[in-house]
Amino acid sequence: MIKAVIFDLDGVLVTTDELHFEAWKALAEELGINGFTKADNVRQRGVSRMASLEVVLEKTEREFSDEEKIDLAEKKNDMYVKSLSGLSKTDVLPGVFEFINYIKSKGIKAAVGSASKNTPLILDKTELADCFDAISCGLDTTRSKPDPEVFLIAAKKLGVAPSDCVVVEDSDAGIEAAKAGGMYAIAVGAAEYNPKADVSVKDLDSLYRALCILA
């Protein structure tokens, strides 16, 4: 029986996926890489900041030391955090508040399971923080999706067995992580049609509307 829904953050709850793309593109351009595209950015979804940097660096012959890579990742994060300054409740994706209220009315718990170390800041700015019973993010983990760690920590914080959890994800790495953790997986957005997902929908708004018709 489903007792909890664990939501990914960027691209599922909030439009910050677009801001990640803009910041990585700006960093790529500073490095003389002009061909950084949305297709490259799809591969950065759900994976850690350092793994995302590698997707950018694949596009240049230049070699970087570990220290230089840390500096580059920090530079991108500074640009990204600056771009979050105007973030507000209006950046929450359609259907999110409604869907969370719906599951809560059924006694189902809600948690966040995100790779992002900026999760607390984003939840605060978008007024989503109080919606969740538990938060698990890049600040809690040592392994990045597709490892299930971030979702298993969320389940543990909720006190719910992994087999009673559903994960909502917009990345292939996240769908893989949910399944590796023994959870159900709902694919949305960029991960829609991922064959490993149990269910695929365009977004949470579509899912919420379908539930309302059936209710």
Q: Which residues are catalytic?
A: 8, 10
| Residue tagged 């984003």 (tokens) | 122
Token representation of residue 186: 């709902």
Which one of residues 2, 15, 69, 77 is an interface residue with ligand B16 (CB under 6 A)? 77
Cα 168 off chain centre by: 9
Q: What is the CA radius of gyration of the chain?
A: 17
CA distances from 21 to 17, 59, 109, 133 (A): 6, 15, 31, 29
Residue with Cβ nearer ligand B16 (13 or 108): 13
CB of 50 to ligand B16, least distance (A): 9
When asked if residue 93 is in the footprint of ligand B16 (CB under 6 A), the reply is: no
Nearer to ligand B16, 171 or 194 (CB): 171
Q: How far is the CB of 42 from ligand B16 (least distance, A)?
A: 10
User: Is 162 one of the binding residues for ligand B16 (CB under 6 A)?
Assistant: no
Cβ atoms 131, 97 nearer than 8 A:
yes
Contact assessment for residue 7 and residue 188, using Cβ atoms and an 8 Å cutoff: no
Binding mask 88-127 for Mg ion (x = CB under 5 A): ----------------------------------------
- Which residues are at the interface with Mg ion (CB under 5 A)? 8, 10-11, 46, 170-171
